[in-house]
Amino acid sequence: MTSYLAPGVYVKEVPSGPRTIGRVSTSIAAFIGKAPKSQARLDEAVAIDNWTQFADLYIGDASAGTHLANAVYGFFANGGGRCYVVNIGDGDNLTGTSAKPTGVRLLEALDNVSMVAAPGFHRPQDYAALLEHCEHPLRQDRLAVMDTPEDVADIDDLTAAGGATVPEPDNSGGTDSGSDAGEDDDGGSPPPSSEDNGPIGAPQSPGGYAAQYFPWIVVQDAVTGALVAQPPSGHIAGIWARVDSSRGVHKAPANEPVQGAVNLVHQVTRGEQEVLNPAGVNCIRRFPEGFLVWGARTRAPQSGEYRYINVRRLTNMIKESIAEGTKWAVFEPNDYALWGSLRRDIGSFLTNVWRDGGLLGRTPEEAFFVKCDEETNPPEVRNEGQIVAIVGLSVVRPAEFVIFKLMQSANMTEIESTGA
């Protein structure tokens, strides 16, 4: 208690109520690939805030763009605001080694990344590296945006996942496959062959930490202006950021135009999408309105609770925001007052998420619950220096199928509209 020694008036500021839990960013992407200027900022994770900054660092006097350059351009053109770029030069290894890390390993120290893509890298080992990075227990705060190969002979091939694993680190300092012998002219990884790499579909992610898009798009090269085929992951990441800004992370990033696309490498039919959509491959399709993203699924199984991109991303945002916003509780006395404070702060935060339309329920009580009391924190838990709060959410899922039921009567047509 403060000691007052002289008579007078003393004013003291006191906390006014709940501590505010702020929302973490969900719109920062990370891109891995070959820059037009192949040796520029090699094997570094560099923050980029606009296309001019990228061009100054990574293009220089290069005569043509690469998949990485066009992806970054598409990210900003579609609404992205900040990204990290890792230039791996002429190599094709997304992990590097313990002695010389590159690719996803350079992203491990970045806490604010929420989307990771390696434009044009579509081999089984590439998928495995991206997925292992996003699913790692110490992260699980980001999603991988995966591309398919450019040429797909049979749509059914995309539904069969490959089984490659991330190569073991080479502690001698070399890379497992660091030469540019297999690199194509655009700086992407070479198309996998069934003989060398097995199935071409991306692996499933039970937790929904990956999404895949098909087909490639035709865009103007960011350096030459010529029309080139481009993997869509960079443009998709920009669309995710755009929807986050305009509607919120709870909105499915679908039925959205792909800015910069002038054509598609493959015109997906409705019948083909009926095969791909249940398998978790999101299609980009041509409609009178333009080229639209026409899918919002992750690579989770159909029966999984995280089969929709917005559900996974909203959950990531909520858990990361709560983790950041409750750090003040570390080393506080683990008693009834602390439990009540946590219930109050988390409940206030989730109420705001509910008001913004992210949680389903007519009232906050229907939309979520927060339990932190003597039941969740018995003596044996407190003796371990732990505090446990249980949070339950009712997350809004997208109306993926809109069904109209028509019934003819003698006097009128009744139309009942339901969402499934």
Quote the domain boundaries for residue 401.
Answer: 326-420
- How wide is the angle at C-alpha 327 spanned by C-alphas 396 and 305, nearest 5°? 25
Residue 12 forms part of a structural domain: no
pTM of the model: 0.86
Task: Look at residue 164 in the predicted model and tell me its pLDDT.
Answer: 54
| Domain final position from 312, 342, 370 | 312
Same domain assignment for residues 119 and 257: yes
Instruction: Give mean pLDDT in consecutive 10-residue pieces for the chain, a chain of 420 residues.
Output: 81 75 95 95 96 95 92 97 96 90 94 96 95 93 96 88 54 41 42 48 91 97 96 98 96 97 96 94 96 96 91 95 93 94 95 95 94 95 94 87 68 46
CA 257, CA 157: separation in Å to the nearest integer? 27
CATH, residue 40: 3.40.50.11780
- H or E segment and range at residue 217: strand 217-220
Q: Which residues contact 43 (CB under 8 A, 6 or more apart)?
A: 86, 87, 88, 89, 96, 100, 101, 102, 106
Query: Token pair for residue 146?
Result: 């995966």
CA atoms within 13 A on the CB side of 59: 20
Task: Look at residue 349 in the predicted model and tell me its pLDDT.
Answer: 95
| Domain final position from 312, 347, 371 | 312
Task: Look at residue 173 in the predicted model and tell me its pLDDT.
Answer: 41
Residue 317 forms part of a structural domain: no
Residue 287 forms part of a structural domain: yes
Q: How many domains does the chain have?
A: 2
| Domain final position from 312, 343, 375 | 312
Same domain assignment for residues 284 and 339: no
Same domain assignment for residues 259 and 350: no
- The verdict on whether omega for the bond into residue 215 sits within 30 degrees of 0, i.e. cis, is yes
Task: Look at residue 1 in the predicted model and tell me its pLDDT.
Answer: 63
Query: Token pair for residue 290?
Result: 């333009």
Same domain assignment for residues 292 and 343: no
Residue 132 forms part of a structural domain: yes
DSSP 401-419: -EEEEEEE-SS-EEEEEEE
Task: Look at residue 98 in the predicted model and tell me its pLDDT.
Answer: 86
